[in-house]
Chain A
Amino acid sequence: MEIVFISKLKPFLDAVAEQMELYVPKKAGDYYVFRRYEVSDEAVEFNNIRTCTPVKEFLFPLREVAAVFPEPVEPEDIKPFAVFGLKDCDLRSIEILDKVFAEEEFKDPFYVKRRENMFIISSDCSNPGESCFCTVFDGRPFAGSGFDLNVSQVSGGFVIEVGSDKGKDFVEKHSQLFTEVPEALLSERDENRAQAQKQLEQNNADYEFDKPIREIVEGGQDSDVFDAEAKSCVECQACTRICPTCHCFYLYDTKQKDYFAKMKMWDSCMRMAYAEVAGGANPHKVLGDRIKHRLMHKFVYFLDRYGIDMCVGCGRCVDGCAGEADIRTVLRKLSEELKDKKEAKTAK
């Protein structure tokens, strides 16, 4: 794997922006969001933590045209684009979305096209947040794979690692930008990474479970925890909208001047009428049942279908919740109840 060094970010990002649209993290209040990069931008921020918005917005936009009829039109051509500042949790969320939209028998042509055209420049998390819990899901504050290029901040510059042929092509094409990495800076990068990982593990020491999370959630299906959670939930649906792995969508029809269109828009299983049929039947009428379904989908059903959890521990749902719910404490409560149940059984 090729590793190179740059002292400044700007010339590197300018070179990317010369080739394709580039999105970079910018501060909006307390959080980072992705904004279009302009070569005239003076400073570029290195985000030490993931953005607030999920990476799915690039691959599966909030709203898009899914079909035009009666005369079909070729979908809008997707041009190559790059995103800088994605974290390991973001890359893992892409892996999850790929399973649904790009690797199944039915592929989503819009997702596939965007995915092929996306140039991923990930970066290390040198300062993970209080809500971050990737380590609970075997994640790390730095990416091991799934990127084209990865950037790590070190003294006096940035270490850049190549992760794909696309990334390699870029580095070769712009060889004048890069220099060799001094050995000491590589060790510094590794120390930074270990430090961030340690910080995450300490922050989440209370959430080290002695059982697979699947067993905890499945075993807690009769628990009152979900109804208790419902009491502080205001049904804003932020947890699902902001989640990088949630991918429910809603199809609806519109009438334009001389054509009809089928639109595809993000939806949320937290919405009351989400599962309702025209006749009025609705298996998820009760809010607690919807909260339970959300967790069952993430930790049981998705695992059954695709072999991985539908959660990367990014903690966005924790930051976004108006009711101050924390998915980690829900899991902990379920885990404790399960232990109590088991102890009660042994006592008998």
Chain B
Amino acid sequence: MNQNPYQPINGEIVDIIDESPTIKTFVIVPEEEFRFGTGQFVELTLPGEGEAPFTPSSSPAETKKMEITIMKTGRVTGLLHECEKGQKVGIRGPFGNGYPIDDFVGKYIYIVGGGVGLAPIRSLFLTLVERIKDFKSIVCRFGARTPDDFIYKQTLFDAWREIAGVDMKLTVDKADGEWKGSVGVVTTVCAREDVHIKNAVAVVCGPPIMMKFATLKLLGCGFKAKDIYLSMEKNMSCGIGKCGHCMIGKYYVCKDGPVFTYDQIKDYPKIWD
């Protein structure tokens, strides 16, 4: 049966963490060994209801359990948000290419993230930090609508920024009284001087509109299109490059992505829609 790519393996939700008013992290224990590369995605099935694609937010080094951070945004995610600990789920995957970490060695890594886009970025960040000496530095520029909308608050606001080799700036569209960080969309905290761009790669993940403007900003800063890695969100379903729903030009996001360089997809129509 392992030959059947449509067959999910069974798993169980063992913990649920509230991240923001609309976002929760589900800790899932698969019944069989399940390994993935950072940036790859899985199809998570709520039995009898449907399945949806998510990139795990935990480190691939953690093999016993997997964390998936989910924003309530449609039918399946709405139902998942109503689930409680003990809920059985199905997992298919991992699918796609993930981040080419080995190509990042010796470089500055410039990560721009927004909203629930921090989920794949958390997995990437944890993976990079495990071998941080391999990289020049990790620069993080993260945005959210309000301070309350930031996910992973416990680690984001202190533990991560204290890691040597990490340069982190947070910004919100709308501040509250206690907010000490920047105010403005995420591109306002990105600057040409942040890194040595000739020896840097950028990673962008967030809502489509944010990805579009972040990409334009990075190009303006001098990043080459081939050095900007985008985690694309399309309607991935089968996960194996056949069903057609997630096509960007000749690419199947589920199989050839979800991580693309801007160079690969920039000439295709409506990539941000």
Contact = CB atoms under 8 A, between A and B. Distances in A.
B6 A106 contact: no
Interface stretch (B118-126, B157-165, B182-190, B229-237): B229-237
A332 interface: no
B87 to A, nearest CB: 12
A248 B242 CA distance: 7
A278 B77 contact: yes
Interface string A272-299: 0011111101111100010001001100
Interface string B43-87: 001111111100000000000000000000111110000000000
B131 interface: no
B51 A253 contact: yes
B211 to A, nearest CB: 11
A89 B245 CA distance: 26
**Taking chain B's interface residues, is the majority helix, strand, or loop, or is none over half, making it mixed?**
loop
A251 B48 contact: no
B84 to A, nearest CB: 18
Interface string A302-323: 0011000000000000000000
A278 B10 CA distance: 24
Contact of B241 (A104, A264, A296): A104
A106 B207 CA distance: 30
Contact of B76 (A69, A254, A278): A278
Contact of B50 (A100, A252, A289): A252
B166 interface: no
A282 B273 contact: yes
Between A104, A281, A297, A300, the greatest number of chain B beta carbons within 10 A of the residue's beta carbon is seen for A281
Between A69, A100, A247, A255, the greatest number of chain B beta carbons within 10 A of the residue's beta carbon is seen for A69
A109 B8 CA distance: 15
B271 A283 contact: yes
B48 A260 contact: yes
Contacts of A301: 247, 249-250
Contact of B48 (A100, A253, A293): A253
Contact of B245 (A252, A260, A275): A275
Nearest to A249: B243
B243 A267 contact: yes
Interface in B69-116: 73-77, 88, 90
Nearest to A74: B1
Contact of A251 (B3, B233, B237, B250): B237
Interface in A234-283: 247-255, 260, 262, 264, 267, 269, 274-279, 281-283
Given A66-B4, A67-B8, A301-B247, A279 B74 contact: yes
Contact of A100 (B49, B242, B250): B242
Given A267-B243, A274-B245, A278-B75, A69 B273 contact: no
Interface residues of A, number: 48
Given A254-B48, A274-B245, A72 B6 contact: no
Contacts of A182: none
A156 interface: no
A72 B48 CA distance: 15
B273 A72 contact: no
A264 to B, nearest CB: 7
A29 interface: no
Contacts of B16: none
B238 interface: yes
B241 A251 contact: no
A53 interface: no
A284 to B, nearest CB: 8
30 contacts: A67-B6, A67-B7, A70-B47, A70-B90, A101-B242, A104-B240, A106-B240, A249-B243, A249-B244, A250-B243, A250-B245, A253-B48, A254-B48, A255-B48, A262-B45, A267-B245, A274-B244, A275-B246, A277-B233, A278-B52, A278-B73, A281-B233, A283-B234, A283-B273, A284-B270, A289-B269, A289-B270, A297-B244, A300-B250, A301-B250
The 10 closest A-B pairs by CB, nearest first: A278-B74, A255-B48, A248-B244, A66-B6, A106-B240, A301-B250, A283-B270, A260-B47, A304-B250, A67-B7
